[in-house]
């Protein structure tokens, strides 16, 4: 992002990180936000929200660091964890609820992965509690791909509208293109 923080980009009048946390709070019993440190500038974006801040000082080592720390700090009795990357500005509370509903609809623990309308796998991804030990052993920047692959036989997909499950903005150009696409047309006089 050439010096700017994509999670502090404004979406719907809020920092993206705050927006995503607020969307998650609408559907989840517990929301944890992984941040590099408790005094990181991103903390201001979620100030006042009832979320657990999970410090991940080794986040530069890859996405698995945040997953390991987040899972390790979950309260007892949690039956699943929904992994929601904060840099996906099109995901909404109803999208998260659809993934959770997919998990609740099956009598045995399954993994749930959101897809774009065309079937392209994306986020969020829900892991049942029996996957927590595998998540705690992740390393590198592959995220939880290894856990998904090892559990492919019980992975269920939840199609979300359009491309919201795969819209991930990592560059200023991607942000500008996204804003241009989502700009409301001016009304004719």
Q: What does the alpha-carbon distance between residue 31 and residue 36 come to, in Å, rounded to a whole number?
A: 17
What per-residue confidence (pLDDT) applies to 57? 87
Element (H, E) at 155: strand 155-159
What per-residue confidence (pLDDT) applies to 51? 97
Percent over 90 (pLDDT), the chain: 84
- Judge contact between 63 and 142, C-beta under 8 A: yes
Mind listing the pLDDT tens digit for each residue in 107-161?
Answer: 899 999 999 999 999 999 999 999 999 999 998 777 899 999 999 999 999 999 9
Element (H, E) at 80: strand 80-83
What per-residue confidence (pLDDT) applies to 186? 52
Domains of the chain in sequence order? 6-172 (3.90.550.10)
Nearest one of 116, 146, 115, 114 to 131, comparing CA atoms = 146
For residue 44, the cross-strand partners are none
Q: Which pTM value belongs to this model?
A: 0.92
Cα 71 to its chain centre, rounded Å, is 14
Contacts of 79 (CB under 8 A, 6+ apart): 109, 128, 129
């Amino acid at each position: 992002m050439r010096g700017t923080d994509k999670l502090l980009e404004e979406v719907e009048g809020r920092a993206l990180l705050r927006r995503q946390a607020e969307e998650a709070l609408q559907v989840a019993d517990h929301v944890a936000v992984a941040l590099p440190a408790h005094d990181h500038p991103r903390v201001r974006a979620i100030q006042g929200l009832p979320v657990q801040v999970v410090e991940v000082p080794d986040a530069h080592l890859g996405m698995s660091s945040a997953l390991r720390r987040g899972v390790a700090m979950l309260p007892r009795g949690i039956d699943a964890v929904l992994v929601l990357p904060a840099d996906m500005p099109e995901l909404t509370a109803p999208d998260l609820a659809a993934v959770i509903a997919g998990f609740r609809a099956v009598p045995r623990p399954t993994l749930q992965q959101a897809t774009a309308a065309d079937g392209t796998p994306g986020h969020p991804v829900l892991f049942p509690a029996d996957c927590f030990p595998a998540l705690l052993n992740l390393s590198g920047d592959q995220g939880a791909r290894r856990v998904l692959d090892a559990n492919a036989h019980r992975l269920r997909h939840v199609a979300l509208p359009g491309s919201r499950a795969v819209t991930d903005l990592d560059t200023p150009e991607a942000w500008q293109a996204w804003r241009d696409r989502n700009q409301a047309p001016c009304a004719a006089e």
